[in-house]
């Protein structure tokens, strides 16, 4: 009888030991999975950037953010289109990447003011009066409308949506080189500008329709003009919103 009780005690001890070990192993496994998931998430956040090497006009967006960063870091209090434009120009001449581009056209203050007052009308006019084919005009117009729906999403989702759009433009055999230049310059600036607002969480910069319209208006001429008009229009709208 004593031997039987001793045997039962030993078996019970082994059962408890195995169960505890199983729980411990399961906990270690769960902790390991959580840790790996956290590392992957952290790595994703570290590698997230606004770039799209497939877009040959990607540099336009990068320069846009570089110039914007210098301007906002200066905490300037200019509140007129003329003064903002003058300061942006003085920053631009120090940007080596921009110097390699075609010269930006002089800033049209009246057009910028009209864009601030009614961005949607000016967007429609800019697209309609451009040299793009009708198919490209429709594509760019749809893209600009889509941004209004995408901009509330996380940037990773926005980035992928814009890259998918750019891929469709790049592969479209019906679009002329001029069509692609205008559309891809605009989309690059939009992609980088949204990154600046969302990922940097910079309270001094919020993208607006006017900012994007400026990019379209300028892109019709060249990339440097697109960068300039987008920044100046965005800054004057930002100033009006914070007054």
Q: What is the pLDDT of residues 126-176, one digit of tens each?
A: 999 999 999 999 999 999 999 999 988 999 999 999 999 999 999 999 999
Give the structural domain span for 3.
1-47
Packing angle, helices 81-92 and 109-117, rounded to 10: 120
User: Is-above-0.75 flag for pTM?
Assistant: yes
**Tally of helices (H runs) and strands (E runs) in the chain:** 11, 0
pLDDT at 65 over 60: yes
Same domain for 124 and 24, yes or no, is no
Residues 199 and 79 both lie in one domain: yes
Q: Between residues 45 and 241, which one has the greater pLDDT?
A: 241
Report the number of distinct structural domains present in the chain: 2
Same domain, 77 and 185: yes
80: pLDDT confidence band, cut at 50, 70 and 90?
Answer: very high
> Same structural domain for residues 177 and 68?
yes
Q: Is 1 helix (H, G, I), strand (E, B) or coil?
A: coil
Cα gap 145→163, rounded to integer Å = 16
Q: Looking at residue 38, what is its pLDDT?
A: 43
The mean pLDDT of 80-84, rounded to a whole number, is: 95
Residue 188 tokens, joined: 């690059």
Q: In terms of C-beta density within 10 A (0-12 exposed, 13-18 middle, 19 or more buried), how is residue 136 classed?
A: buried
pLDDT exceeds cutoff 60 at 187: yes
**21 and 78 housed in the same domain:** no
Round to the nearest angstrom and report the end-to-end CA distance of the chain. Answer: 92
Q: What is the pLDDT of residues 191-234, one digit of tens each?
A: 999 999 887 665 567 778 899 999 999 999 999 999 999 999 99
């Amino acid at each position: 009888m004593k031997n039987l009780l001793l045997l039962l005690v030993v078996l019970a001890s082994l059962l408890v030991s195995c169960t505890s070990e199983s729980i411990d192993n399961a906990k270690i496994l769960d902790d390991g999975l959580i840790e790996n998931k956290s590392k992957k998430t952290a790595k994703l956040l570290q590698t997230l950037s606004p770039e799209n090497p497939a877009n040959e006009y990607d540099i336009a967006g990068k320069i846009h953010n570089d110039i914007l960063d210098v301007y906002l870091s200066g905490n300037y209090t200019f509140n007129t289109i003329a003064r903002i434009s003058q300061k942006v120009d003085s920053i631009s001449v120090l940007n080596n990447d921009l110097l390699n581009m075609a010269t930006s056209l002089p800033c049209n203050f009246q057009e910028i003011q009209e864009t601030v007052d009614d961005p949607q009308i000016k967007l429609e006019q800019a697209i309609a009066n451009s040299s793009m084919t009708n198919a490209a005009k429709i594509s760019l117009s749809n893209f600009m409308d889509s941004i209004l729906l995408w901009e509330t999403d996380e940037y990773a989702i926005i980035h992928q949506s814009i890259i998918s759009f750019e891929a469709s433009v790049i592969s479209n055999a019906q679009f002329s080189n001029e069509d692609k230049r205008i559309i891809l310059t605009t989309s690059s600036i939009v992609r980088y500008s949204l990154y600046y607002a969302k990922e940097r969480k910079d309270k001094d910069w919020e993208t607006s329709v006017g900012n994007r319209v400026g990019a379209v208006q300028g892109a019709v001429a060249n990339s440097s003009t697109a960068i300039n008009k987008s920044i100046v229009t965005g800054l004057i709208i930002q100033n009006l919103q914070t007054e």
